[in-house]
Amino acid sequence: MSPSQIRAARALIGAKQSDLARAAGVSLATLNNIERGVGDPRSSTLERIETALVGAGVAFEEDAERETVTLRLLDRPTAYETLFASQRVLELLSPDSLTTVGKVLFFARRDGEGDSEGAARICLLIEGHNRAVLLDRVQFSVANSGRAAEVAAILLWAFTFHADALFYLDQVLDDTTAGDLPEVVRRLRALPWQDLRHPSEFFDVFDDWEGHLRRYADRDGHPMAELLALVNAAPQA
């Protein structure tokens, strides 16, 4: 990863040096020197910068003839364990993320293609200003306290930082995971998005908001209680 590739990557995602430095956890002076080719940066520093850029959809390639920097306009992380996946979602929705969030769509899908009785899985489409990230291959659900906590934490984070950019679908979709990424995103964009003003609007599409409050909202440290407190404290439109 050369200095020119770093500069090109920032240009592709519309990030300032200060944005990348913050996301990578390095000082602005350090990043400035690296981009100017000054000094001999540690490999760990370069790895943090590369990790931040790759997380924003950038891909680097280099051979004897050329070096290239590309941006994935559509991204679909592969299935992974839900705790790691929820941490990835929180990173994407963080104010420090290099993916500048424009809209966040929450939707539920069946767990099994064409199975109308299948368990609902919670999914997100994060629309950035220069790319979109679809998270529909993660097994997010509210099947138990731990899983409900992960979903509540994601909603809490979303309402904290992007309350005016949240949407949901008022129907449970068939399984989307086998579909081609561009086609699935096109389909989602064509559906009627509803403004998400309270988590109950989305929860009640696939489950029972009040039931989950009775089960979890009084448990110490459970994100459901924090989510309820946040949305109740928000000014009503």
User: Domain with 119 in it: what CATH number?
Assistant: 3.40.1530.10
Same domain membership, residue 101 and residue 61:
no
* Per-residue pLDDT at 77: 85
Same domain membership, residue 119 and residue 41:
no
Q: How far apart are CA 100 and CA 93, in angstroms?
A: 8
**How many distinct structural domains can be found in the chain?**
2
SS3 content of the chain, % helix, strand, coil (to 5): 45, 20, 35
Same domain membership, residue 78 and residue 189:
yes
Same domain membership, residue 119 and residue 7:
no
**CATH number of the domain within which 59 lies:** 1.10.260.40
What does the buried/exposed string (b/e) look like for 98-126 if buried means 16 or more CB atoms within 10 Å of the residue's CB? bbebebbbbbbbbeeeeeeeebbbbbbbb
Same domain membership, residue 56 and residue 17:
yes
* Per-residue pLDDT at 144: 84
Same domain membership, residue 79 and residue 29:
no
* Per-residue pLDDT at 2: 87
Q: What's the CA angle centered on 49, arms 98 and 31, to 5 degrees?
A: 100
* Per-residue pLDDT at 191: 97
Domain housing 15: 3-71
End-of-domain residue from the set 43, 71, 99: 71
End-of-domain residue from the set 71, 104, 126: 71
DSSP 94: S
Same domain membership, residue 103 and residue 13:
no
Same domain membership, residue 14 and residue 131:
no
The closest of 137, 4, 132 to 71, measured between CA atoms, is 132
pTM of the model: 0.86
List, in order, residues 6 or more apart from 37 with CB less than 8 Å away: 3
Q: How far apart are CA 55 and CA 75, in angstroms?
A: 10
Same domain membership, residue 222 and residue 172:
yes
Q: What's the CA angle centered on 124, arms 236 and 189, to 5 degrees?
A: 90
Per-residue pLDDT for the chain (237 aa), expressed as one digit of tens each? 789 999 999 999 889 999 999 989 999 999 999 999 888 888 899 999 999 998 888 988 877 788 889 998 999 988 677 888 888 899 899 988 888 899 999 999 988 644 444 578 999 999 988 899 999 998 898 888 888 889 999 999 999 999 999 999 999 999 999 899 999 999 999 999 999 999 999 999 999 888 888 888 777 778 888 888 888 777 655
Same domain membership, residue 156 and residue 47:
no
List, in order, residues 6 or more apart from 119 with CB less than 8 Å away: 110, 111, 141, 143
What Cα–Cα distance (Å) separates residue 41 from each residue in 10, 44, 47, 66?
A: 19, 8, 10, 23
End-of-domain residue from the set 71, 92, 117: 71
Same domain membership, residue 168 and residue 119:
yes
